Amino acid sequence: MRDQIVRLAKDLITIPSVSGDIEKAVEILEFGKQQLANFAFTPFVSNTYPSLLFSNQGTDRRTFKIILNAHLDVVPGKKEQFHPYEKDGKLYGRGVFDMKAATAAMLLLFKNEAHKLSFPFGLQLTTDEELSGFHGTRYQVAQGVRADFVIMGECNSNLRVTNQSKGRHLIKIIIEGNTAHAAYPWHGKNALWEMYQALNPLMQAFPTPKEEIYKTTVSITRIKTENDATNKIPGNCTAFLDVRYAPEDKDTIIAKIKSLLPSTIRLEADHLRPYHSVEAKNKYITSLRKITQEIYGQDLPLRFAHATSDAPFFAAVGCDAIEFGPVGQNAHQDNEWVDSNSLETYYYILKKFLATVDTHVKSSPKIINLSSEKKALLPL
């Protein structure tokens, strides 16, 4: 089984399905369809981003007991990262940890097990998780896709059930200056300088942590100007901030950032994903952890994630969603890898979990009460 998963993961990594490349997104979903040729699926497209929903009970099904959720887009990587290789029990390549190896395990699991399960079981394949998830998971949810329990095979959980994650704002800060010829700096107002001065107090308030903290973090990911001539003073500048907020800052973070910036700037905040949490005593979580202990041999604690996933989109409609993926490291970095053996462990844990759901867990329909904040997430 290990070799089968590794082989399939390698095939997936070879397709450079970088977020935003729609052609590659289509190509990799086609590949997914070939793998699951015997199953019914529903295709979705939102804002050109394709996604699929496989089902063991026909194409029209929207409600499931269990959904496995996988994203097939990856962040940009170096050319050689799209040539996966195995070394010392680790599989290397762009997206191997985030999350093509987990996807490979999920695809095989669905292929081998879905027809044996009596409950409605779905597999979602999306292509925009690294961007926003708006046009993949969120769109499918908006189209009525529901489940009692969703497992996202995301990176960084390392076989720990991840039931909480930080929320995320993408903030754009726009500063206007005055352009002029570079030889006459007194005629202009350099927007890039203004930006750096504006960002100083913000970065002092949110310094880069030296080690892991469960607090709100802020980072500058890009600074750009429309100016393309070195001998011109830039007349405008936009900076992008990646804000990961802890639950205690949920309602105050935007106001706090605004208060640290000069009033002359323009700030646009995109609430990409809300803070997310599923109760620790959820019956599926309990079952998944118990089975992990049996197969992996360790009682792993629950995990709080710094990074967000598509899980909050399910949470917004009252479906419990968690992250649970194989062992690996260095997501988004050059030396991204997963532990090859853990893929097999991962596969068997999920297989046993599904079998348990079938025999023991009897679900009753939930009464869903949407808060207004959660409702706001739905319309597209």
Return residues touching other proteins (CB under 8 A): 19, 75-76, 130, 166, 168, 170, 178-188, 190, 192-193, 196, 199, 203, 208-213, 217, 219-225, 227-234, 240, 242, 244, 305-308, 331-334
**Which residues make Cβ contacts (< 8 Å) with residue 165, sequence separation at least 6?**
273, 275, 276, 277, 304, 305, 306, 307, 308, 309, 311, 312, 323
Kindly tell me which of 43 and 201 has the beta carbon lying closer to other proteins. Answer: 201
- The helix/strand count (H/E) of the chain reads as 10, 17
Beta bridge partners of 125: 52, 70
Residue 332 C-beta: closest distance to other proteins, Å: 4
Q: Which of 360, 370, 348 minimizes the C-alpha distance to 284?
A: 360
Kindly tell me which of 283 and 306 has the beta carbon lying closer to other proteins. Answer: 306
Kindly tell me which of 8 and 327 has the beta carbon lying closer to other proteins. Answer: 327
Residue 260 C-beta: closest distance to other proteins, Å: 16
Residue 189 C-beta: closest distance to other proteins, Å: 9
Kindly tell me which of 120 and 325 has the beta carbon lying closer to other proteins. Answer: 325
Kindly tell me which of 171 and 295 has the beta carbon lying closer to other proteins. Answer: 171
Residue 144 C-beta: closest distance to other proteins, Å: 28
The DSSP letter of residue 73 is: -
Bond prior to 152 in cis (omega within 30° of 0)? no
Q: What is the CA radius of gyration of the chain?
A: 22
The size of the chain, in residues, is 380
Instruction: Please report, for residues 95, 262, 348, the alpha-carbon distance to residue 337 in angstroms, rounded to integers and kept in the order given.
Output: 8, 42, 20
Residue type, 75: V
Kindly tell me which of 307 and 361 has the beta carbon lying closer to other proteins. Answer: 307
Residue type, 268: E
Residue 64 C-beta: closest distance to other proteins, Å: 28
Q: Which of 234, 224, 223, 222 minimizes the C-alpha distance to 177?
A: 234
State both tokens at 327: 């062992």
Residue 23 C-beta: closest distance to other proteins, Å: 17
Question: What is the Cα–Cα distance from 131 to 128, expressed in whole angstroms?
Answer: 5
Residue 228 C-beta: closest distance to other proteins, Å: 7
Residue 125 C-beta: closest distance to other proteins, Å: 20
**Which residues make Cβ contacts (< 8 Å) with residue 211, sequence separation at least 6?**
none
Kindly tell me which of 70 and 199 has the beta carbon lying closer to other proteins. Answer: 199
Kindly tell me which of 219 and 252 has the beta carbon lying closer to other proteins. Answer: 219
Q: Do 38 and 150 meet the contact criterion of CB atoms below 8 Å apart?
A: no
